């Protein structure tokens, strides 16, 4: 948790040299702690390779790998590698019952979630194609291609509606109306899946707690 806070503090402007130096040594200390924990878990695991490629094993590795890669290469200046430190927050899942329940719920509903994501991406593509054919001639600068139309599709289907791109043709407006109706369903489906899975996960945890010998 402290490592995550330190990551946020590093983004503050006009930090003193002493503060940056402290944060750097704190980062080294944190990485050493995480590395020791990672190696001990591999050593204690009955099946080390299985742990290494497990969800928590991958999270533990990603949390420390960018630091070691920075030796010889100044990867600290590359934001994507610095952002990998945020994966350390996922380590909290291991120690919090509620977070573990959420992880278990995602595992239970993973097939339904994958199917939902596939269907969502297909609908996004179809929405992009549809609005492109309706609006391309009327607004070639905004709907220049299907890829440009994809931004409109995402903003519309998620019901965000930024308003920077919108249809002006009659056909485009009617098409948008139906896409908005579909978008309302898309927003609610994941909530239902996760809520149902959380209920099952809670039941499984309570069952395991009441029958530990099993």
Q: Is 5 exposed, middle or buried (0-12, 13-18, 19+ CB in 10 A)?
A: exposed
Same domain (yes/no): 203, 118:
yes
Q: What pLDDT does residue 1 have? A: 61
At which of 64, 93, 122 does a domain end? 93
- In tens, the pLDDT along 36-95 reads 988 998 998 888 899 888 877 888 888 788 777 766 555 544 555 556 666 666 666 666
Dist CA 128 CA 147 (whole Å) = 7
For 141, the domain range is: 110-210
Within a domain: residue 102?
no
How remote is the C-alpha of 100 from its chain's centroid? 16
Same domain (yes/no): 89, 176:
no
Predicted TM-score of the model (pTM): 0.56
For residues 51-81, one letter each, b for 16 or more C-beta atoms within 10 angstroms of the residue's C-beta and e for the rest, the string is beeeeebebbbebbebbeeeeeeebeeeeeb
- In tens, the pLDDT along 147-205 reads 889 988 888 887 776 677 888 999 999 998 998 888 888 778 888 888 888 888 888 87
Same domain (yes/no): 38, 117:
no
Same domain (yes/no): 120, 202:
yes
């Amino acid at each position: 948790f402290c490592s995550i806070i330190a990551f946020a503090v590093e983004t503050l402007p006009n930090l003193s040299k002493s503060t940056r130096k402290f944060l750097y040594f704190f980062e080294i200390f944190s990485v050493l702690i995480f590395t020791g924990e990672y190696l001990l878990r591999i050593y204690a695991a009955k099946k080390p390779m299985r742990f290494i490629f497990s969800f928590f094993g991958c999270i533990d590795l990603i949390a420390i790998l960018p630091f070691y890669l920075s030796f010889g290469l100044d990867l600290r200046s590359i934001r994507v590698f610095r952002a990998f430190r945020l994966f350390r927050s996922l380590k909290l899942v291991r120690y919090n019952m509620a977070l573990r329940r959420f992880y278990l719920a995602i595992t239970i509903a993973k097939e339904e979630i994958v199917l939902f994501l596939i269907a969502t991406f297909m609908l996004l593509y179809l929405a992009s194609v549809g609005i492109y054919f309706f609006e391309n001639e009327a607004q070639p600068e905004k709907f220049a291609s299907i890829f440009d139309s994809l931004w409109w599709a995402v903003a519309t289907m998620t019901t965000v509606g930024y308003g920077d791109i919108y249809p002006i043709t009659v056909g485009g407006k009617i098409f948008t109306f139906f896409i908005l109706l579909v978008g309302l369903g898309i927003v609610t489906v994941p909530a239902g899946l996760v809520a149902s899975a959380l209920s099952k996960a809670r039941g499984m945890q309570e069952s395991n707690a009441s029958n530990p010998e099993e």
